Structure 1
Amino acid sequence: MKKLLLLLTCLLGLQTAWAQFPMGGVTPQRKAIPGTADDNTPKGNSKITGFVVDSALTKAVEFASVALVNKVTNKPVDGTVADDKGKFTLNRVAAGEYKLLFSFIGYENKTVDGVIVAKGQDLDLGVIKLASKTKTLEEVTVTGQKELIEEKVDRLVYNAEKDIMAKGGDAADVLRKVPMLTVDLEGNLSLRGSRNVRVLINNKPSTIVASSVADALKQIPADMIKTVEVITSPSAKYDAEGSGGIINIITKKNTLQGLNLNVDAGVGNRGSNLSLNGNYRKGKIGFNLGGFGRANYNLKLQGFNDQTNYTGTGSTRTYQTTDGVNSGLFGNYNLGFDYDIAKNQSLTAGVRYGARNMLNDLNLNTQSFINDVLTGTVRRDVDTKNLSGTVDVNVDYLHTYKPQQEWSISTQYSRNDLTNNFDAIERNATEAMLNREKNINHNLNQEITLQTDYQTPLKKNQMLEFGAKGIMRTVNSDYQYLYGNGSEPLTQSTRQPSGALDYNQSVAGGYASYTLTTKNRYTIKAGTRYEYTTIEASTREGGDINIPNYGNLVPSLNVSKSFKGTTLKLGYNRRIQRPGIQQLNPNINAANPQNISIGNASLRPELTDNVELGVSKNIKKLFVNASFFGRFTDQTITQVVSANDTLAGGVLTTYQNIGSERAVGTNIFGNLAITSKWNVMLFSNILYSNLRGVARVSGSVSEPVSNSGFNVGGGLNTQIQFKNGWGAQAFGFLQGSQVQLQGRTGGFAFYSAGVKKDFKNKKGSIGIAGENFLTKSINIRTDRRSAQFTQLSDMHIFMRGVRLTFSYKIGKMTMDAPRKKGKSVNNDDVKSGGEGMQGGTPATGSGTTSRPR
């Protein structure tokens, strides 16, 4: 095939060269392919050699055409084609004066004049540079647009790169607009009402996500997100974790040749950001280096928590008001490398570092009542520091044998160092210091992953995939409490002693998946995965924790059928949800003594069966999708709230495998292209859930608890492009209250709008955007009840914000064929923790936001 291509290119090149020299009425000398029996050109014993390269990139111009032209007669007398390294050779050249014409598609023709060849001479012309005549990217007019929403057999794809308000925002701003997803005001993510969601970045996990999904979303710049994949029915190829589903955030990648630098900046009354991203590619080697920094400030919150605990002799009530300010610094830095070992082999490597510095300053004023009689007033000033440094290092290899047949090896090392401390001072009504309390908690989370995957087509309409994976995790939590009466120095607390948790988890898994596409447009994807988990855990105080090893077989089946613009989908899968460090960590979070939380190191995983039926339809300019689903979970890891036996008016939150959830719901959304430059998307999420569990009444006495109800949300997103580079976008979302095992968490509303102006050269833009700019604050009301207590919380979060954004691209790139890079590690198997709000007061510290990966 390669020789045939060479021959055809030679013929075309000679035809092009011949056309450059009109002969008038003279019949030209017949030209044959050099080296053939029919070659009747004048022969000599000289030789001309050289290399043809791209003038900008200094890379070989493969198969460039070379024509040898007699200087006197101006007629071509010989010709050849460069090889795949750009080298050309003209043999048996007669002595004389010549000029050479070089040509190739996509390059300007070049003539080398005054080439004098002596008899018997080997003439080396060295490097011949051809200039590209490809138009620069800013001169290209795009006539088609990618759909805002794309649907595949097992996922929905939201093309976030079309979001004109992305500049200056973070990933949470983008994910709020994705159908089926809900992102609350703290950045906590849920899919179809479930927070048991795995978040991947470019098909692989990151320790940036490990510590907290909400914090991770703040570290990912919105304008670097290309697509968001919502995988509601993961195939066997994915890890079995994530009972709610998988969210895969794909960032923008550069497959162009050359050097460029993107600068993005934004400044606002609530936050500012600066991002620098550079790419360089030369031939087979490419590098990328990027950094993103974001500062949040002036994030105020106010609210109250009214709680009554019932006892056999009466009631104890606490009324607590909250006044606080949050601030944070987030950084995300990466260095990447890729190398094409050969045409069918590639090697990629990368290092990603994430930094987080979150500071919370809360003033808690608490009034205590016994049988409605005021017994005391205490003010508690709490400073919380949540600091982390996360590192991901990966090396991946991909070998492609033929189209769709490939084998890959992926490795990854991850490390997450998290420090989560608080320092609290309590004063009485006369401002005298009662006591001081300090919690120091350091978490170290390390993970090593090795996996291999192989896929091969079977005939033209079948695909077989199989692979294996091993994950070794180590989680350590070391904590201590210091306490001092009045102004006394801090000493080790006897009420809440120090401790440590060592948690080692290993997961070995293997899978097989088969895909069939039939002539009548059925697509069937079936597979199964087996994972075996071993756990060794111990605490410094209690010694070894007996957690049995367990194995799980998790099947999956996805079927789709397309006909007349309509697609039907049916899916089933079983998923596992392992507990995260937030549920496991025995460190006592007592930053707010009225709302104390503690983990449970003996938790086991929960199992979920998911079923869904979906239909999508294109009706002219309208795309409509509706999906109906059921989720059935046993051994649910449930957050349980009970009255605190040691603190009057306080509650204790922990986690237990005592619940079950039966949920059914629907997601409906439609996207209407009113014109080619104006589209409107509407979406709604409706879920009915039934929760059952057991709650502790007192001591070892427990009682059954159940709750059920609807969770409803929906939104609108519209975007329009005007002339001269102007564009505008508006978004609004309303989330109703959410059913919990012991009450309901309040709903909220969020909206934003913005305009953007692209520069004429398309290399930059400037814009302005605002969030909740007509609303002073957002109010969230939470109501929790049991036989022991009632708790009513009302929190106001001040999020009214406006920001200016600026973006500019530096450098010139030329188009090159996209390269298929090595696959990467994809761990999606640990439950993220927490509710984000505890009794109406934001969770504050003490090491409850890191989780094993």
Structure 2
Amino acid sequence: MIKFFIRIAVDYSKSITVKRSKNYFTLLVLFCSSIGYSQLSITGKVTNEDEKPLVSVLVSIYSKKNIISNTITDSIGSYSFKNLKMNNYTIIYSYSTLNDSIPLVRLKTDTIINFRLQKANLLDEAIVKYKNPTLTRKIDRLIFNVSDTDIVYGNNIWNVIEKTPLVSSTSDGEIQINGTSGAIVYVNNKRKMLSGTALKNYLGSIPAENLKSIEIITTPPSKYDSEGSAGILNIVFKKNKEEGLIGDLSLSSRQTAVNSQAISNSLNYRKGKLNVFTTAYLSNRNRQPKFSKEILYSRNNNQLENRVINSFNDFEIESPGFNLGSDYQINSKNIIGVLFDYSGSWHNEKRIALRNDYFKNSGSVYVTHNKDELKSKTFSINLNYEKKIDSLGKALTFDLDFLKFISRNNSVSATDMIDQMTNNPLFNLNTFRSSSPQENTIGSFKMDLEYPVNERFSFDIGLKSSISVIDNNLIFENRSSENVWENDILRSNLFKYDENINAVYGLFNHELSSKWSYQIGVRFENTISKGWLQKVKVIDKNYNNIFPTAFLKYATSKDKSYVLAITSRITRPSYWDLNPFRTYTTDETYFEGNPFLLPSKYYRQEISYMSSSSKGTLTIQLATSQTFDEFFSLPSNPTENIISNKKTNYGNKYGFSNTVTYYSQLQPWWKLTSTLLSAFVNTKGSYAENININDKTYLFSVSANQNFTISNQKGLTCSLIVSNTFPNTIVNTHIGNRLETEIRLRKSIGNLNITLSAQDVLKSNKDKYRIQVNDLRITDENYHDTRSVALALSYSFGKSTIKDKRDRETGISDIKNRM
């Protein structure tokens, strides 16, 4: 790999105006009488391109990215390393404004390496980039390198998540991995304390042009929070490692039934020890989704037999936001950083629901007009300090986080009976309004210690404490006469919730040999939660949980490996799920939160196999999982003709899954990334008064992302993305087939990228549900206005130069990468 980088650098240097010379170094091998485990040495001389000795060149020798020793060349340019063992080593030469040079040495006997440093290595204003495979696999995660794909142009982060292998999402902001719900989102290894619709709106407002990768962590190690049964999505942004000012400006317009626009600007300035970065964005997202519902009531119902609801929505979401961060390197061992983030969401929606009720001998038509206004804003700040203890990789980090989420949800609903002959209103059946101010205040402190003992042993320890204060006030009012509103005390409530989670963890890594390695971890958490409904304490819990994790890796060769993983997690209800606020479709159909939801526990055991060759990279993953006290959004018929949907702890779920991912460069102009998921799921439980669940189902989905290079000279590329999820059943909800498609054409002109795309060309990306609740049958079909065409412009600007000082990985990172 290192030779590959050097070869690219040399080939590129021939194309620029500065005259380039080839690197010359001579390896003189002296055979000694003793080899094997004898003490060996490396000696040599460093010269410039005129073959004059260079004094005070820093020469460093590494073994598997762990530094072994440093030395400086003497007055005649000589250096030496003694008492070395037979092994593979990397030698780094650093001098003044000359580029570091890295030859690889396979040391079997005493060796002489003479090296020539040249000014040509500066690569004046040229940066050699290496494209990673679209998919790479590590011991605990699958990495989707989105920066090397076209899907980042003109998209937001939520759009990219929806196209990430193994990942699916719902319209209400729930993220699933391998068909399991409850995924938690991290940004640059820091958890984002948002969920549901708030998380979707936040990620949907951030442009994707600055994305580097998305890491799908199905079995998170113990150092991560135990939250999230499906695992973790870690969103990684690009980091600028060059000095100077660089930036990106992007504009996009998407046409569905209505038009949406977005603009963003990212800047990064690095000078010496200071790095400052910021992103500002503004999006205006408009959609006109359509929903249809049919309800067949029990035959024993002497009145209503059938109800059909067609809902036509029109919403606009304006999302302004920005972040500002800075890192400052006090010295070689101390770094401090600060990051401030603000995001807003101004959501205005009008919903018209036409309801047809069919009785035995008659029928009636009602129309419900809903108007929703949801305004929210999120402020967060992170303070970070890192102390590098030594060159081996020992490091101590501290993080202090604070987040404030404020939302105001106001809704007005009016239902009129309609004359079926004239379609004019006959009379007003009811009119009501609701308001739900919500404030979430979250603070946390975290400390982590990375402690490599030697090349093969390391351990991590850490602690975290977080406090969350949630305040929801639901005000429900009925209109008794024109402009006269009366409080409905039965449907109004005041809900407050406090939660304190304290955790400690330990993690141990051990590389037994070049083939065998393992990791063992445990996380202990204490949770104290208290909740008040109408000022009456309804939640008072203090409980402990232990979450063990274990990984065992066997590498038959450099390109083939097996990993056995065991993990345990917990899924806590989102703060929005706990909010008892109701969202009405009609006056007799609504969604509501549940303040009495319990957390669910999740256990997973998986074995994965990875093989890489010239034909591509293949990863196979087999897993079993058990979820206890799972909660899911379920319908019920509490009284008469009322249909209520709310998340409920219904019982347990048992799953068996098989995931296959394949990446290949089929032709120089054709790259393929594909994923196949198959699973068997058994759910058992009950909810409401007498609704039993005992369902067995198979899940099957396939996806393919193909990238075509039409012309390198003209900078033309094309992408075709297809994903199909076949019919399946989750709990008691049968889900119909869903086909998602996207075609993207990109033209590159220097630093300018022009992207034209089309999504959901076949208009097949729909939610289709069929639910049986005892004698009650419900059928839904929801279309979220996804068929669209979009035009996006992205321009990179600024000037940067290669830094004199190289960023190096710590010794601990090498051990973790091998795991």
Same fold (TM over 0.5): yes
Counterpart of 1:473 in structure 2 is: 468
- Does the aligned pair in 2 maintain the 1:209–1:216 contact within 8 Å? no
1:194 aligned onto 2:188: no
Task: Find the aligned partners of 1:624 and 1:691 in 2 and give their Cα distance.
Answer: 31
Task: Find the aligned partners of 1:617 and 1:450 in 2 and give their Cα distance.
Answer: 40
Within-5 A mapping of 1:60-209: 104-105=97-98, 134-137=122-125, 139-140=126-127, 142=129, 144-184=130-170, 188-207=174-193, 209=195
Task: Find the aligned partners of 2:808 and 2:587 in 1 and give their Cα distance.
Answer: 54
For 2:417, give the aligned amino acid.
N
Counterpart of 2:697 in structure 1 is: 709
Counterpart of 1:797 in structure 2 is: 784
Q: Quote how far apart the aligned CAs of 1:175 are.
A: 2.2
For 2:660, give the aligned amino acid.
I
1:354 aligned onto 2:343: yes
Within-5 A mapping of 1:761-780: 762-773=750-761, 775-776=762-763, 778-780=765-767
Task: Find the aligned partners of 1:501 and 1:325 in 2 and give their Cα distance.
Answer: 30
Unaligned runs of 5+ in 1: 1-10, 21-31, 35-62, 66-77, 81-101, 108-130, 823-853
Counterpart of 1:737 in structure 2 is: 727
1:535 aligned onto 2:529: yes
Task: Find the aligned partners of 1:267 and 1:546 in 2 and give their Cα distance.
Answer: 47
Counterpart of 2:628 in structure 1 is: 634
Task: Find the aligned partners of 1:134 and 1:367 in 2 and give their Cα distance.
Answer: 74
Counterpart of 2:545 in structure 1 is: 552
Counterpart of 1:573 in structure 2 is: 567
Q: Quote how far apart the aligned CAs of 1:555 are.
A: 0.2
Task: Find the aligned partners of 1:704 and 1:764 in 2 and give their Cα distance.
Answer: 58
Change (3 A) 1:473 1:757: same
Please point out which of 810, 814, 826 is paired with 2:797: 810
Task: Find the aligned partners of 2:466 and 2:612 in 1 and give their Cα distance.
Answer: 43
Counterpart of 1:692 in structure 2 is: 684
Q: Quote how far apart the aligned CAs of 1:511 are.
A: 0.5
Counterpart of 2:497 in structure 1 is: 503
Q: Secondary structure at the match of 1:549?
A: strand
Q: Secondary structure at the match of 2:594?
A: coil
1:416 aligned onto 2:416: no
Task: Find the aligned partners of 1:240 and 1:794 in 2 and give their Cα distance.
Answer: 35
Counterpart of 1:451 in structure 2 is: 446
Counterpart of 1:90 in structure 2 is: none
Task: Find the aligned partners of 1:502 and 1:132 in 2 and give their Cα distance.
Answer: 66
Within-5 A mapping of 1:248-287: 248-270=234-256, 271-287=260-276
Question: Over residues 583-603 of structure 1, what are the superposed CA-to-partner deviations in whole Å (9 max), with x where a residue is unaligned?
Answer: 322233335333323333233
Question: Over residues 5-41 of structure 1, what are the superposed CA-to-partner deviations in whole Å (9 max), with x where a residue is unaligned?
Answer: xxxxxx979x889969xxxxxxxxxxx999xxxxxxx
For 2:513, give the aligned amino acid.
K
Counterpart of 1:843 in structure 2 is: none
Change (3 A) 1:658 1:184: closer
Counterpart of 1:751 in structure 2 is: 741
Within-5 A mapping of 1:576-591: 576-591=570-585
Please point out which of 569, 586, 594 is paired with 1:600: 594
Change (3 A) 1:703 1:263: closer
Task: Find the aligned partners of 1:369 and 1:246 in 2 and give their Cα distance.
Answer: 47
Change (3 A) 1:183 1:604: closer
1:683 aligned onto 2:681: no
Q: Quote how far apart the aligned CAs of 1:209 are.
A: 4.7
Counterpart of 1:643 in structure 2 is: 637
Q: Secondary structure at the match of 1:212?
A: helix
For 2:310, give the aligned amino acid.
T
Change (3 A) 1:772 1:211: closer
| Structure with larger RCO (C-alpha < 8 A, sep 6+) | 1
Counterpart of 1:300 in structure 2 is: 288
Q: Quote how far apart the aligned CAs of 1:692 are.
A: 1.4
For 1:523, give the aligned amino acid.
S
Counterpart of 1:391 in structure 2 is: 379
Counterpart of 2:619 in structure 1 is: 625
Change (3 A) 1:802 1:371: same
For 2:143, give the aligned amino acid.
V
Change (3 A) 1:704 1:350: same
- Does the aligned pair in 2 maintain the 1:440–1:480 contact within 8 Å? yes
Change (3 A) 1:177 1:567: farther
Question: Over residues 82-137 of structure 1, what are the superposed CA-to-partner deviations in whole Å (9 max), with x where a residue is unaligned?
Answer: xxxxxxxxxxxxxxxxxxxx985269xxxxxxxxxxxxxxxxxxxxxxx9993355
Change (3 A) 1:557 1:453: same
Please point out which of 289, 297, 321 is paired with 1:309: 297
Q: Quote how far apart the aligned CAs of 1:492 are.
A: 1.8
Greater CA deviation, 726-735 or 514-523? 514-523
Task: Find the aligned partners of 2:309 and 2:621 in 1 and give their Cα distance.
Answer: 43
Change (3 A) 1:584 1:818: farther
- Does the aligned pair in 1 maintain the 2:214–2:234 contact within 8 Å? yes
Task: Find the aligned partners of 2:347 and 2:371 in 1 and give their Cα distance.
Answer: 11
1:785 aligned onto 2:772: yes
- Does the aligned pair in 2 maintain the 1:532–1:551 contact within 8 Å? yes
Task: Find the aligned partners of 1:285 and 1:351 in 2 and give their Cα distance.
Answer: 17
Task: Find the aligned partners of 2:784 and 2:595 in 1 and give their Cα distance.
Answer: 33
Change (3 A) 1:103 1:641: closer
Question: Over residues 669-724 of structure 1, what are the superposed CA-to-partner deviations in whole Å (9 max), with x where a residue is unaligned?
Answer: 2112113442112211112111112132xxxx434322221122111101122312
Task: Find the aligned partners of 1:324 and 1:546 in 2 and give their Cα distance.
Answer: 37
Greater CA deviation, 601-610 or 247-256? 601-610
Counterpart of 1:335 in structure 2 is: 324
Q: Secondary structure at the match of 2:147?
A: helix
Task: Find the aligned partners of 2:747 and 2:142 in 1 and give their Cα distance.
Answer: 30
Please point out which of 378, 401, 414 is paired with 1:425: 414
1:524 aligned onto 2:518: yes
Q: Quote how far apart the aligned CAs of 1:64 are.
A: 14
Counterpart of 2:662 in structure 1 is: 670
Change (3 A) 1:17 1:561: closer
- Does the aligned pair in 1 maintain the 2:317–2:347 contact within 8 Å? yes
Task: Find the aligned partners of 1:198 and 1:249 in 2 and give their Cα distance.
Answer: 11
Counterpart of 1:402 in structure 2 is: 391
Matched residues, percent identical?
A: 16
- Does the aligned pair in 1 maintain the 2:196–2:574 contact within 8 Å? no
For 2:783, give the aligned amino acid.
H
Q: Quote how far apart the aligned CAs of 1:402 are.
A: 2.2
- Does the aligned pair in 1 maintain the 2:415–2:586 contact within 8 Å? no
1:464 aligned onto 2:482: no
Change (3 A) 1:520 1:301: same
For 2:243, give the aligned amino acid.
Q
Q: Quote how far apart the aligned CAs of 1:821 are.
A: 11
For 2:745, give the aligned amino acid.
V
Task: Find the aligned partners of 1:358 and 1:132 in 2 and give their Cα distance.
Answer: 56
Q: Quote how far apart the aligned CAs of 1:810 are.
A: 2.2
Structure 1 vs Structure 2 CA RMSD? 3.2
Q: Quote how far apart the aligned CAs of 1:809 are.
A: 2.0
Q: Quote how far apart the aligned CAs of 1:445 are.
A: 0.7
Task: Find the aligned partners of 2:96 and 2:500 in 1 and give their Cα distance.
Answer: 59
Q: Quote how far apart the aligned CAs of 1:420 are.
A: 2.0
Unaligned runs of 5+ in 2: 1-44, 57-70, 78-94, 101-118, 419-423, 811-819
Q: Quote how far apart the aligned CAs of 1:207 are.
A: 4.2
- Does the aligned pair in 2 maintain the 1:445–1:473 contact within 8 Å? yes
Aligned residues: 707
- Does the aligned pair in 1 maintain the 2:195–2:576 contact within 8 Å? no
Question: Over residues 528-570 of structure 1, what are the superposed CA-to-partner deviations in whole Å (9 max), with x where a residue is unaligned?
Answer: 01000001211225x0113321100110001111123321111
Counterpart of 1:723 in structure 2 is: 712
For 1:237, give the aligned amino acid.
K
Greater CA deviation, 332-341 or 423-432? 423-432
